[in-house]
Amino acid sequence: MSKKNKQQKSYYDRVHGWGRISTLSALCVLLMFPMAICLYLGVFPRAELVFKGLLQVIPLYWTVAVVEVVFYTPMLGAGGTYLSFVTGNIVNLKLPCAISAMENAKVKATSEEGDVISTIAIATSAIVTTAVLAVGVIAFAPFLDTFTNSPLLMPAFKQVIPALFGALGAGYFVTHWKISFAPILFMLLILVFVPTIGASTLIFPGIIASVLFAFVMYKVGFLDKKEKRQK
């Protein structure tokens, strides 16, 4: 085994070790939060009512959790995966940051360099989000409502998603135009028939279609040469 391979193996193994410990610790801390609230307030909610609420939430969100872990892990890299799932807001914050940082650094998501850049981007994003939320909640709580609901700024906050994914997609679609147009057309077609599907659900058929279309294009030779010349 070459020195590089050894180093790579030990880096990934170390990251998975830290990730496992920190994820399980985060789970304990997270579950202690409602427990601490109960102890602090001196009340324990009736179990049947909590179960009733959970029944509405678990079937969908636990399924989504499994799907998200399977789909996002390859995109986030080792360190990025553990950090992203603990800090949340994966689709609207962590993944875009990781993709953008890897694009800027011109590194592949599957390379060790890509893993390092992705982890740095996601950690930075998590720290900035935590700081923005903390400052917002602690210092500006009384004025926040006026700020985010002001008629002047409200449209900006309502259009965060198109702005974010437009900026992110621009570079990506230009670089990978060949494998971009078919899945986007497919998703637009889905929206013609099911306009209320929502982007967070559309992601899954979108990702499957995108990989399948790319596979077909690769097999028929549509991705040969030109796609490589761009690199």
> Contacts with other proteins in 149-168 (CB under 8 A)?
151-168
Q: Is 69 in the site for other proteins (CB under 8 A)?
A: yes
- Distance set, CA 155 to CA 21, 24, 148, 152, 158 (Å): 42, 39, 9, 7, 5
| 6, 134, 139, 226: residue in contact with other proteins (rule CB under 8 A) | 134
What residues numbered 190-219 form the site for other proteins, per CB under 8 A?
190-192, 195-200, 202-203, 206-211, 213-215, 218-219
Contact status, residue 49 vs residue 55, Cβ threshold 8 Å: no
What residues numbered 15-54 form the site for other proteins, per CB under 8 A?
15-16, 18-20, 22-27, 29-34, 36-38, 40-46, 49-50, 52-54
CB nearer to other proteins: give 145 or 226. Answer: 145
Q: Is 141 in the site for other proteins (CB under 8 A)?
A: yes
CA nearest to 206, candidates 195, 190, 192, 226: 190
Least distance to other proteins, CB of residue 63, Å: 9
CA nearest to 231, candidates 113, 111, 108, 116: 108
Q: Which residues have C-beta within 8 Å of that of residue 75, sequence separation ≥ 6?
A: 95, 98, 99, 109
- Can you say whether the dihedral through the CA atoms of 17, 20, 22, 25 is positive or negative? negative
Q: Is 139 in the site for other proteins (CB under 8 A)?
A: no
What residues numbered 102-131 form the site for other proteins, per CB under 8 A?
104-105, 108-110, 112-113, 115-117, 119-130
